[in-house]
């Protein structure tokens, strides 16, 4: 295994590792036990993301995209807005029901 990314902290290392996992590259985050060595001070530079040798080039390409802010993950689809659509329909039905009840009584 080789180091594909040197993170500032353990959280960033896990974010990058998750990003690589989404793209089919298995990774390992190292440096968990070194984070607490300095107590409350945030230790930097001890967290690394390791990948297999054959995945190193692809992992570094994906990490470059991650750092530039671009991603190969597709944009959200219109179906991901369903909770908002359900809420709008629920409110519409609720308003109509209340209006009908007010008209009846």
The string of pLDDT tens digits covering residues 10-32 is 888 899 999 999 999 999 998 77
Radius of gyration of the chain (CA): 23
Residue 95: the pLDDT is: 92
Structure tokens at 35: 């984070």
Average pLDDT over residues 75-95: 71
Cβ 29 vs Cβ 14: under 8 Å: yes
pLDDT above 80: residue 78:
no
Cβ(25)–Cβ(58) below 8 Å: yes
DSSP E strands in 31-88: the ranges are 47-51
Q: Which fold has domain 2-75?
A: Alpha-Beta Plaits (3.30.70)
Q: The whole model's pTM is what?
A: 0.57
Residue 89 burial (CB count, 10 A): 10
Q: Once rounded to an integer, what is the mean pLDDT over residues 62-80?
A: 66
Report pLDDT digits (tens) over 29-53. Answer: 987 766 555 554 555 667 889 999 9
């Amino acid at each position: 295994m080789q180091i594909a990314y040197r993170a500032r902290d353990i959280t960033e290392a896990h974010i990058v590792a998750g990003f690589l996992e989404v793209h089919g590259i298995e990774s390992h985050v190292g440096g968990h036990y070194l984070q607490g060595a300095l107590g409350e001070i945030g230790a930097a530079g001890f967290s690394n993301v390791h990948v297999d040798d054959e995945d190193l080039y692809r992992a570094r390409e994906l990490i470059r995209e991650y750092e530039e802010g671009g991603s190969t993950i597709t944009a959200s689809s219109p179906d991901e807005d369903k909770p908002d659509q359900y809420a709008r329909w629920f409110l519409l039905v609720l308003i109509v029901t209340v209006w009908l009840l007010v008209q009846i009584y």
